[in-house]
Amino acid sequence: MSLQDYRRRRNFAKTREPAPDDSAPGGGRAIFVVQLHHASRRHFDFRLQVGDVLRSWAVPKGPSYNPKVKRLAVEVEDHPVSYASFEGDIEEGYGKGHVDLFDRGVWATRGDPEAQLRKGHLEFELFGERLKGAWHLVRGAKKERQPAWFLIKAEDAYAGDVEADDLLDAKMRESTRRAATTPSLRAAAKKSTVRKKAPPKTRRVPLATLTKNAAALKGARKAKPGNGFFAPQLARLRETPPQGDDWVHEVKWDGYRILTGVANGEVLLWSRNALPWNDRAPEIAQAIEALELDSARLDGELIALDTEGRSDFNALQRTLSGEAQAPLVYMIFDMPYLQGYDLSRTSLVERKALLERLLAHAPPHLSYSSHNVGDGDDVFAMAMEQELEGIISKRANGAYHSGRGDDWQKIKRLESDEFAVVGYTPAKGSRLSFGSLLLAKPDRAGGWTYVGRVGTGFTDEMLRQLGKTLAKGGTKKPTVRIGAVDPMLRGALWVPPRVVAEVYYRGIGNKDLLRQPSLKALRVDKSPDDLRDSDRDPPPAKKTPRGTTKAAARAAGADAIAITHPDRVVFPDDGITKQDVVAYYRAVMPWMLPDIADRPTSTIRCPGGIGAPCFFQKHVMAGLDHVGTAKLKEETGAAAVYLYPRDEAGLIELVQFGAVEFHPWGSHVDAPDIADRVVFDLDPGEDVAWPRVVAAARKVRSLLDELGLVSFVRTTGGKGLHVVVPLNPGADWDTVKTFARGFAEAMAGLHPLEFVATAGKRFRRGKIYVDYLRNGRGATAVASYSLRSRPGAPVAVPLRWEELGRIGSGDAFDLRSVPRRLARLKKDPWEGIDKVRQDLAAVNAKLGA
């Protein structure tokens, strides 16, 4: 099944069903939706988002909570993700009838859903309002034109004697009554109006007992409940675990810190920087609700599990962004409040003992983070052996207090591997012989790739000996491939790889360089050629950076953004990788950021590279911690949360999530209804030569000059040019749109053989379309210095008017040439654009608007 079948079966000029939209936004959790469809035969449409489509099955009798009941599910064509919100009447043609939204939520599965579907058995979980718990889709043996599957409830806490028709609300029952044309439908219409609830089968410690236990703890105090955000306790980084039985040691989970507040039974999840997370992790909120607590505060880490049941940070990021459906688990390690009692002053081990009792029979998405008393070195050794991120050591009798202190300490795992020494940096100050050794790993092309510098771990004697042998001579031209810019390499001298160094390090950083390397030994028993025949995969190629804590990311800015899959090819025809894209945006950041910061921004995300489907993303998505968010009204009047870059860290984080292009509004988030830019997009027809586009831009500038308006020009990275008019003071969008349309029509009227102001392509032959439609609320234009998701990695580049005649095309600049151009420039081509004072009131009067 495919969207092609969906398109073929519908006339979108007549049906209200949504047409497939290649630019439909994605980026949230993968969803499921069930729609009650009163077609010629009443049925439930069951849909799971897999990638960019909704895989769909028609279930005649609807889902059943009884594990012994196998419900026929006939596979039908894929539907667009936008279909998930469709309700109402299909008035004619295929599927004619009324559609009600029965349920919607997110779903998860352990493993690749596509692979499971190909094998004919998908095991998954649903987290909706009506449908919850574990389920199976099993393909029938008989191959029909429309493959038959069976939808089966798994044995779990939600299983019971409940049918889909038991869960209909008044609106859906009324639709069923009106569509009741057969005895079976009339019987369904008369079903009970009371929704049955399958009680969980798990046992729990009585809440009265837990409350009594909490009250008895030393230091417990009665306090009013609250489910708002509370600042978490934070740890300090240490090299080794603290010693003695006064300390307990836990696994350092590789995920996102989540804080939970429960008050009057209402559960609220918060990120460590106070962002609400219920919508991003509904399975966790539902699991905590199942505990039926009146009030509580919980502290833990949200993790994703791989197919082996291990914590996988990459899977967590991909699940939160909609690229995967891994099961999520809340590893809870502290409980500073329970059932009306503030436990923050009680000892940690007593809080954890009570927490363990609470979670003894909790739903599977909640897990207790256990600990060891004492033996910190052994616990850390275990973490090393199992390749965990590290451990957290905590004072056993410690209170719970917000902020960073010495009561909690984090000890991260050191890794080691062998690398070729390919150069050195000069010594500084009192340092002997050299500053640091330059390291490289073998690459697949038979050469070497730079991985970083090691400057610690040397004795004075080693420094002296290496200064006489290895760190001597060399050339300023690198002998290896350098994928990331390192400013410390400016004075480096490079030598052919002759020596092998074994190095400790703390993972791979966002520039694909070793983090905190320290020399372990020089391997005199090995040569660099031995590294090409290693008995294991080189760590830099296999161990994806797992990121840093969000507090550290905020402190270190964009340098703390972990870049996963840096070798992923984004521009396949040009061999440009994700790391290359990151390096480009870092290089142009001082020039680009002023044009985009604090503006609502749509991005074009290409998580699989530009050769795979790309899509617009304008709303906030899970996993973004450095990007600003603003709740703004849509054109429909409904409110939505838009994203916007605030600083370098936010922009780089969007690139980490696959963003290639950036398209900001012509207004800022603090005044979204006031435009401060007007953009005219000069879009030439197929047979229009470039010199005519240049001449057209100059004519636009000339007419703007006559109106008293200063303008600026940039290439678009495509076929045309943008002429940009700054406004100060700004104007409301109606005023701007009226002016832009009037100006475009005036250009078409003055030069009818040159310009057209109508969007239809048939009108553009031999002419240049003056696109004024980018000047409305919510409309966007490509940002200066943004890449375009096209072969060649072209860039939209601001120009001085004086240099326009020297430019050969709208895509004359690319990812490689723009940094070189900026290095030569003495000043910004758009210098002063934010200081120009001009307004549209008098201009509109001149135009008679």
- The tokens of 461 are what? 């004697």
**C-alpha span between 559 and 563 (Å, rounded):** 10
Q: Residue 201 has what pLDDT?
A: 47
Relative to beta strand 576-577, strand 601-605 is unpaired
690-741 pLDDT, tens digit per residue, is 999 999 999 999 999 989 999 999 999 999 999 999 999 899 999 999 999 9
Mean pLDDT for 536-546 is: 31
Top pLDDT among 829 and 142 is at 829
- Which residues of the chain form CATH 3.30.470.30? 210-412
The predicted pLDDT at position 9 comes to: 82
Q: Give how far Cα 494 sits from Cα of 262, 415, 417, 464, 736, Å.
A: 60, 26, 21, 19, 58
Q: How many residues does the chain have?
A: 849
For every residue of 305-348, DSSP letters joined together read B-TTS-B-HHHHHHHHTTS----EEEEEEEEEEETTEE-TTS-H
- Residue 23 and residue 94 in contact, taking contact as beta carbons nearer than 8 Å: no
d(CA 754, CA 703): 14
Specify which residues 125 forms β-bridges with: 108, 134
> Given a cut of 60, is residue 553 above it in pLDDT?
no
Q: Exposure of 802 by Cβ count < 10 A (0-12 exposed, 13-18 middle, 19+ buried)?
A: exposed
d(CA 777, CA 599): 12
Q: What is the rounded average pLDDT of the residues 332-340?
A: 93
Report CA 85 to chain centroid distance, whole Å: 22
Q: How confident is the model at residue 193 (pLDDT cuts 50, 70, 90)?
A: very low
Tens-place pLDDT, residues 730-784: 999 999 999 999 899 989 888 888 899 887 666 667 899 999 988 999 899 999 9
Where are the extended beta strands (E) located within 691-772?
Answer: 712-715, 721-732, 755-756, 768-771
How does pLDDT run across 223-235, given as a tens digit for each residue? 887 778 888 888 8
Which of 96-100, 310-314, 703-707, 792-796 has the lowest average pLDDT?
310-314
Q: What residue spans of 513-577 are helical by DSSP H? A: 539-542, 550-556
pLDDT for 379 equals 83
Lowest-pLDDT range of 539-543, 553-557, 576-580, 773-777: 539-543
DSSP lists the bridge partners of residue 712 as: 724
| Phi, psi values for residue 82, rounded to 5° | -65, -15
| Cβ-defined contacts of 318-324 (< 8 Å, 24+) | 319/29, 319/30, 319/108, 320/29, 320/280, 320/621, 320/622, 320/623, 321/27, 321/28, 321/607, 321/621, 321/622, 321/623, 321/657, 322/26, 322/27, 322/28, 322/29, 322/30, 322/49, 322/621, 323/607, 324/30
Half-sphere exposure of 635 (CA within 13 A, CB side): 6
> Where residue 521 falls among pLDDT bands split at 50, 70, 90?
confident
Residue 280 tokens read as 């991003």
8 A C-beta contact, residue 748 and residue 757: yes
pLDDT attached to residue 847: 55
Q: What are phi and psi of 448, to 5 degrees?
A: -135, 145
Q: What is the pLDDT of residue 539?
A: 35
Question: What is the pTM for the complete model shown?
Answer: 0.51
How far is it, in rounded angstroms, from Cα 276 to Cα 282?
A: 11
Q: How far is CA 717 from the centre of its chain?
A: 25
Who has greater pLDDT, 446 or 833?
833
Q: Identify the band that residue 22 occupies on the pLDDT scale cut at 50, 70 and 90.
A: very low
Is 80 exceeded by the pLDDT of residue 468? no
At residue 25, the pLDDT reads 44
Separation in Å, CA 275 to CA 315, 400, 626, 653, 661: 21, 21, 11, 17, 26
Biggest distance spanned by C-alpha atoms of the chain = 96
Neighbours of 631 (CB within 10 A): 10
Q: For residues 80-90, give the mean pLDDT.
A: 86
8 A C-beta contact, residue 302 and residue 312: no
Q: Sorting pLDDT into bands at 50, 70 and 90, what band is 60?
A: very high
pLDDT digits (tens, 9 = 90+) for 143-179: 556 788 999 999 888 888 899 888 888 888 877 777 6
Query: Hey, what are 415's tokens?
Result: 């890794």
**Whole-angstrom Cα distance, residue 670 to residue 775?**
18
pLDDT confidence bin for 631, thresholds 50/70/90: confident
pLDDT score, position 180: 66
Q: What is the pLDDT of residue 265?
A: 87
Give the separation between CA 702 and CA 694, rounded to whole angstroms: 12
Tally of helices (H runs) and strands (E runs) in the chain: 18, 39
**What is the residue type of 726?**
P
Tell me how far apart the alpha carbons of residues 33 and 49 are, in angstroms, rounded to a whole number.
8
pLDDT at 475: 85
- Tell which wins on pLDDT, 283 or 142: 283
Instruction: Determine whether domain 415-542 maps to CATH 3.10.200.10.
Output: no
Q: Give the separation between CA 253 and CA 506, rounded to whole angstroms.
A: 16
- Cβ atoms within 10 Å, residue 817: 14
DSSP label of 782 = P
Identify whether 252 is a catalytic site residue. Answer: yes
Q: Which two tokens stand for residue 333?
A: 């390690």
Q: Round to whole Å and give the CA distance between 716 and 807.
A: 12
Question: Residue 652: pLDDT above 90?
Answer: yes
143 alpha-carbon distance from chain centroid: 39
Q: Residues 194, 195, 197, CA angle at the centre, nearest 5°?
A: 135
Tens-digit pLDDT profile for residues 296-322:
999 999 998 776 666 777 788 778 877
Side-chain-side CA neighbours of residue 132 (13 Å): 24
pLDDT at 596 over 80: yes
Q: Which residue has the tokens 């350098």?
A: 482
What are 655-684's pLDDT values in tens digits?
998 999 999 999 999 899 999 999 999 999
How far are the Cα atoms of 7, 10, 19, 93, 845 from residue 13, in angstroms, in the given order?
Answer: 12, 9, 10, 12, 40
Coil, helix or strand at residue 268:
strand
* pLDDT tens profile 800-837: 999 999 999 999 999 999 999 998 888 899 999 988 99
Report d(CA 228, CA 618) in Å as an integer: 28
For the chain, the helix, strand and coil percentages under 3-state DSSP, each to the nearest 5: 25, 30, 45
Give me the long-range contacts of 560-564 (CB less than 8 A, separation at least 24): 560/510, 560/649, 561/510, 561/626, 561/649, 561/652, 561/653, 561/656, 562/509, 562/510, 562/656, 563/510, 563/511, 563/512, 563/656, 564/314, 564/317, 564/656
Higher-confidence position of 282 and 200: 282
Nearest to 663 by CA among 732, 608, 718: 718
Please check whether the domain covering 210-412 is classified as CATH 3.30.470.30: yes
Mean pLDDT of all residues belonging to the chain: 83
Range 674-778+799-813+824-847: architecture per CATH? Alpha-Beta Complex (3.90)
- Residue 115 pLDDT > 80, yes or no? yes
Of the candidates 479, 388, 400, the one whose C-alpha atom is nearest the C-alpha of residue 438 is: 479
pLDDT band at 327 (very low <50, low <70, confident <90, very high): confident
CA-based radius of gyration for the chain: 31
User: Residue 126: which pLDDT band, with cuts at 50, 70 and 90?
Assistant: very high
Does pLDDT of 125 surpass 70?
yes
Please tell me the predicted confidence (pLDDT) of residue 23: 42
Q: Which of 61, 132, 252, 578 is catalytic?
A: 252
Distances (CA, A) of 812 to 242, 563, 716, 821: 59, 29, 10, 12
Ranges of CATH 2.40.50.140 domains, the chain = 415-542
Residues facing residue 715 across a β-bridge: 721
Query: Above pLDDT 90, what percent of the chain?
Result: 35
With tokens 């909706």, the residue in question is 128
**Residue range(s) in the chain whose domain bears CATH number 3.90.920.10:** 674-778+799-813+824-847
CA angle 629, 633, 639 (to 5 degrees): 75
For 440-471, give the DSSP string.
Answer: EEE-TTSSEEEEEEE-SS--HHHHHHHHHTTS
* Alpha helix (H) residue ranges in 190-330: 207-216, 282-289, 313-320
| Dihedral over Cα of 22, 27, 32, 38: its sign | negative
